[in-house]
Structure 1
Amino acid sequence: MPKITFQVDTRLAKLLAENYRSSERALKELIDNGWDADAEHINISLPEPLTSDPVIVCDNGSGMTEHELLKEYLYIASDRRQRRGELTSQKKRKVKGKKGIGKFAGLMIANAMQVETWTRGKKCTFSLTTADLENANDIEDLSVNLNIVDIPDSKSHGTKITLSNLVQNLSFPSPDKLRQLLLQEYGRSDDIEITVNDKKLGIDDIQGSYTQLKHNLPNVGELNIRFTVSNQKGKLKQPGISIRVGGKIVGSPTFFGLDREEDFPTKLLDKIYGEIEADGLFDHVTADWGALIENSELFTEIQEFIKPLLKEKVKEEYGREMSLAQARLTRKINERLSALPEYKRVYADKAIKSILGRYYGEPESKVEPIVSVLLDAVEKTDYRAILDYIHAAEHSEISKLAEALSEFGLAELAIVGEQAKSRLEFLDRFEELCQKEETEEYVVHSALEKCLWVFGANYSVFSSNRTLKRQVEDFLNKNYIGERANKRPDLLLNVNFANEYLLIEFKRPSHSLQYKDYQQATAYRNDFVPYTSSKITVILIGGKRGIDLPPSHHMEPNTNVFIFDEIIASARHQLNWLLKELGGEQHA
């Protein structure tokens, strides 16, 4: 049986060259080659429109020897990463070249390409044209003249690519578009400098509103601030504000708390790009230069200045679009708005603005249902009762509630009211559970594990997690086995954001707490000391107080004894007070 082989038409090289969406993206491929060659400087020269000047890409990377040209560069579709690994040899950069076809990118925008590369005292030069490719039948038979000459400086290295006779039916490469494209990829890189037509890549190259200013802070000193709020379509790569200290970038870009603002549109975070030089933070940088030290007061001082500045500039750039979006939405729901009393329309309008701000960039089909639910709340639920109460209240009462409205927002007040009612219903069901003689410890444990607000507002910030549950399980499995298994206690270990621990021992609602119960609960605290050096507060809860239970002033510090009836009554009183404050006596 005769063997057959594939042949590769020279048209393949031209097809590979056309594998780019724009002239700028094709040029970026050549710049990526400079990155992979560990270049520190890359200079791109673009011609003026309607001139015959060439495009020149020149870098001071490692260059190529004759052997590297023949065995690697001219080897089509050879994956550099398989030959040399994922990282470059000198600067340990992540290699960008993946397919081995980027060498043909220049032939997308030009009919002739000259490659000059030098290293170790030798300079190699060859040229390739689209006509050469069209006139050859097989790419392996394509003859390329390689010129090799000696150069006086044996330590010099680099590569220069000259693209001439630009393709006439394509737009000339745009310096602005190329800078914007390159900035996305290389704007955060400290070890490379790229210039396009003698201008270094800068934050001002991003299309949008550019801000540059210097400002002195009392403790930090001078800040050099540069950032752009982009108005181009799509999100930026690596958005945020970088902090540069002593000429070096520290950690990852940050948004100075804007990403934690509930009323700030999440999609607009992707439009912010910039850098702040703050040498005053030098003593607050970690040893690996990977971050600022936690709880840095100097960073907090910077954040308090930068965050409102960013919000103001974003509003300047996108405020008009947000207003237009509100106008379009208002026209659609105008009939429902017009049916509301004037004082309700004011609040509904304010709430709609808040929703549009939060969901900026989302399609209107997604925002409309949210606004519809809001209007339902104004028209039909306790939302309406709150507004009626405000409208009918005296001036002093309006002042009191206006303060609450400004703090929570109208929608949040409605949610608070609904949540208070739900919690009251929970307390009713929980009280019924506690009144049953057969209710065991694990039942009340399960009910209260995620409802610690029943113990009081200061306990609602505590929560358990997988690690804490494992620690409790390990302790119980170790100490309560065999004959002691039936004495196994029901414990819940929680922690808050301040790293303070809360250990709760649950007893049956029918159990009368004794002194030995108190002793055992405090002993558990000592058993958990090996797990943490933080403060551990102990709660013992049961159905009644025994006669030998010590009074609170004789108990160990950070130890509390609660009775189910007491905590239910206290929680119910707080919720009734909240409903009264929201909607008057009749709503409590």
Structure 2
Amino acid sequence: MGAKSPRLEIRFRGRVIEHLGIDMYQSPVAAIAELISNAWDADASSVEVVLPGDLNTGSEISIRDDGFGMTLAQCQDRYLNVGYNKRKENGKDVTGSGRPMMGRKGIGKFAGFGIANFVRVETVSGETGERTVFELDASQLIEGADSYAQNDPLEVDVIDYDGPAEDRCVDHGTTITLRSLTLKKTPNADQFRTSMARRFLLLERADEFAVSVNGERIAEVDDIEKIEFSFPRDYEDSQRPANLTVDDDGWGVERLVNGHQVKWRFVFYKEPISDDELTGVSIFSHYKLAQRPFLFNLTGGFGGQQGTSYLSGRVEADFLDDQPRDLISTERQRVNWEAEASEPLLAWGQARVKSLLRIWQGFRAQAKVTAMRDRMAPFSIRLGRLERPERKVVEKALESIAKITTLSDEQFADLAQAMLSAWEGGRLKGLIDDLASADELDADALVKILAQSRVMSALHAAEHVKAQLNLITGLEERVQRRELENHIRDYIAENPWLISPRWETFRVERGVRGLMEEVAKEIYGKDWDARVDLVLSSGNQLLVVEFMRPGLKIDWDHLGRYERYVTRLRNATAARFSEFKSVSGLLVADKLDKAQDVMDKIEKLRQDDMEATDWLGLLERSKKQWADYFEILHDRAPDDDRMKQLAGN
């Protein structure tokens, strides 16, 4: 076209800095991870990150490394050269010490602008001893973009410079200081350390490279006590992949169909993982995160899918960062899985995740069955009463329930016991039989079981309540006929749950009887030789029940002595028995004095947790409480025929 042919130029604007720094690295972990990567490529042996204790106008973050540093010329040619490709310029993919290079795009240096307005660089060259200090201003780079992009390059002032000096070479390294921070909250050093460790988890294999945050080194965080299964360690022989080997660190090593090697370790936690940085499988390449945790793009429809919320894994795939075409996104968050070079890893990951989820499901089921059998040990007599074929059906049904991995151990135990009781009572045998023959249980079946379990629990409780009501009615009739009064009192003393639902958890308490007799003699006289009829306890509560002799009526004098007795007993119990925080009283007689002052006194005592009543009043109130309890249970399954039958009896 001739000597005067027109020319085209590629110009970049300052907005490029905004996109490559501010937009991509808005979290301190992501931004500082890029600067740590630069330290790795500079053959540093240590990196020290210092975070501020609080945020104010003078707060700073510093990242100091002991790498080879830069000369003044290298600051210009490398650091200030946007898009400088270390690998291409050096003609190799390793550093001077033989490390695989992390950097590739030449833009990680701008990551600091994601969390700060100023990036200050102080570097000492290990080659010449030159010391150079300069600072970059985000606003100057972005707002003044048009002028320097279209005309002359933007000038960067050198704040301080010391020429070559051999004695300074030993102090080689680079310190990046981020000033005028744009963070909205102060970074938590512990959380920051954990998150950074997960970005450079595999750096723990590199003994010659240490990263510390506020003086404490980042380290692998496995939460070993929270992990239930770890692979490849927990493979059974029949489950191991054919070409799997295990290295000295317990990591699995396999070769993909394209010949590239991967190393991996997957763990399943005991409880669902709530941390997004931990849930799923992370991919690392050359010791650095290349793909944030994911499930190899699986979308569902596979066995053991509930296990995905328990799964955390790490895969080392260095070949991803060795391809001619860059497969890793700029901010190191995701891999291009549509590329030909990455497809074999994606297929391997999907197969490995599906396989391990099925294995996990089986392991969890077996663990739950074992736990169930331990819990069901007290019911061995009941299980032994079942015919062998029936016992096998119930056990298979329980194993089917055990495979529902979202059930907690407590929920599983409740369901297991409800199913056993249902079978014994001749209920829901068809459903239990279906469960026994089911290979897997879907969500609809689980909902059905839970609904039926609710009905079963309500029915069992309702039958119990109905039995209490029938017994109370019988006692009430005997009291009215004044039959067997002593036998009735003794029976109630042994079965306090007959009186009120709230007494069901109470048991006879003998440890305080001596104290009670002492207090009784103080109140009723030294010659008192009557017995305390009943002392019950539940948790930190003590209940004292006194049955007055037949034929006596509760009057003002009885109430006065009763009030003094319970009050004195409360004080004495608090002084001697720290386990009991409250003392309640109940006085029962054949009759009540109906005088208004007596009735007012009884009401006042009731407010102070000291009941006084006659037999008929006590039984009538008890009957009402049990009836109210039955109504609550009835409302849980009002349409069930068995509940209707109970309600009609």
**TM-score grouping bracket, smaller chain normalisation:** 0.3 to 0.5
Give the TM-score, by structure 2 length.
Answer: 0.36
Which is greater in Rg? 2
